Amino acid sequence: MADIASFRNRFAKNVKHWGKWARRQGITCYRVYDRDVPEFPVIVDFYEGRVHLQEVATGWMESDEDHADWLEAIRNACAEVLEIDESAVVLKLRQRQKGLQQYEKLEGELSEDFVVQEGGNKFWVNLGAYLDTGLFLDHRNTRQRVMEEAKGKRFLNLFSYTGSFSVYAAAGGATHTTTVDMSNTYLEWAERNFALNGMDPSRHQRVRADVFEFLSEALSESTRYDLIVMDPPSFSNSKKMNGILDIQRDHSWLLESVLALLKPGGVLYFSNNLRTFTLDDWLKPMCTDISGQSVPEDFRNRKIHQCFRFVKA
């Protein structure tokens, strides 16, 4: 088993550096460690006094007992350095999830919902019950952009997850938001986030739908939007969809359809986390790649997502 001291020393250094950075920025949820030491392939995110600790599957072969001891040593080190109780460190093994798996609760993890703050807004998160926590920290900068651009706008959020972009748009003065996702679990989560921020539910519509179906129907209607965010998964074969989503294959049709829903002068933010993603050539003159600005400073993995800003002529 690798010497835990090398992890502990690097983690302590990161905690000091990013803790100071976060305080200066007024940020309370941020990434502290991301596989900085190759022998310790884990990701550590800090959520206002609690820790989301993810082990990244590497295929290393070791006994179950040795592996458990290794993980426990990392967990202990995180708690000691941050001076928090070990129970506040929630551990997950992160593997590729497909279809409905991303919506299902994880077995054996008991974790409570709690509230965190970001950008002046409040969000419910849960570090243990689901694959993800309810708030994607790597989209912090883009959420801020949306809030700054939302005043007086009609906003559409596709593949919305728990609705954080919609909350930011509402906080920025959007006149109306439409939040679209296939999952009742996540749409209910979005509703709770709106309520948490005291936002008028009559102006914030939630739609349970396959985005492909939603777009097909929306194109035949007269409603158009000033500001749209589309942040799809790289791949999904959920039974709730009519087909299989492959973002490299499908992004051209998706973007063509979404751009048709934009008013002239309207803005679309399109993001995905497929490392090998390449935008189709016909779309490139229509957008600006803002990935360099959208990935936050605390994410040393600068390829965690790609983000493009389209402005409709």
Region for residue 200 given its phi and psi (left: phi exceeds 0; alpha: psi -120 to 50; beta: otherwise): beta
Structural domain contains residue 102: no
Task: Tell me which residue of 202, 203, 162, 154 sits closest to 180, measured CA to CA.
Answer: 162
Do 120 and 226 fall into the same domain?
yes
Q: Are residues 239 and 126 in the same domain?
A: yes
Residue 102: the pLDDT is 42
CATH number of the domain enclosing 264: 3.40.50.150
Any domain includes 181 = yes
Residues 296, 156 share a domain: yes
* pLDDT tier at 64, thresholds 50, 70, 90: confident
Instruction: Using alpha carbons, select from 105, 71, 73 the residue that is nearest to residue 91.
Output: 71
Same domain for 83 and 199, yes or no, is: no
Query: Is there a domain that residue 183 lies in?
Result: yes
Looking at residue 286, the DSSP 8-state letter turns out to be G
Average pLDDT of the chain, as a whole number:
91
d(CA 276, CA 298): 22
Residue 109 belongs to a domain: no
Residue 139 has which token pair? 């989209």
Long-range contacts of 212-218 (CB under 8 A, 24+ apart): 212/241, 212/242, 212/243, 212/245, 212/254, 213/242, 214/158, 214/180, 215/158, 215/254, 215/257, 215/258, 215/261, 216/257, 218/261
277 plus 132 within the same structural domain: yes
CA 170 to the chain's CA centroid: 18
Q: What is the rounded average pLDDT of the residues 25-42? A: 96
Q: Is-contact 179 157, C-beta < 8 A?
A: yes
Closest CA to 11 of 30, 35, 27: 35
* CA-closest candidate to residue 134, choices 76, 193, 60: 193
Confidence of residue 62 (pLDDT cuts 50, 70, 90): confident
In tens, the pLDDT along 286-307 reads: 999 999 999 999 999 999 999 9
Tell me how crowded residue 50 is: count the other CB atoms within 10 A of its CB. 23
CA distance 206 to 285: 32
Query: How high is the pLDDT of residue 236?
Result: 83
Mean pLDDT of 191-201: 96
**96 pLDDT tier (thresholds 50, 70, 90):** very low
Residues 53 and 197 in one domain: no
Q: Which CATH number belongs to the domain containing residue 23 in this structure?
A: 3.30.750.80
Domain count, the chain: 2
Angle of CA points 267, 263, 227, to nearest 5° = 35
In a domain, 101, yes or no: no
Q: Strand locations in 134-257, DSSP E?
A: 154-158, 176-181, 204-208, 225-230, 235-236, 245-246
Residue 245 belongs to some domain of the structure: yes
> Residues 295, 138: contact at Cβ < 8 Å?
yes
Within this chain, do residues 169 and 37 fall inside the same structural domain, yes or no?
Answer: no
Residue 99 DSSP one-character state: G
Same domain for 47 and 132?
no
Percentage, residues of the chain above pLDDT 90: 83
Contacts of residue 233, Cβ cutoff 8 Å, sequence gap at least 6: 102, 159, 245, 247, 272, 273
Please determine, for residue 107, whether its predicted confidence score (pLDDT) is greater than 70: no
- 130 found inside a domain: yes
Task: Tell me which amino acid residue 8 is.
Answer: R
- Whether the pLDDT of residue 45 is over 50: the answer is yes
Amino acid (1-letter code) at residue 298: D
Domain encompassing residue 170: 115-311
Give the per-residue pLDDT at 63.
Answer: 83
Question: Which of 41, 65, 95 is at the close of a domain?
Answer: 95
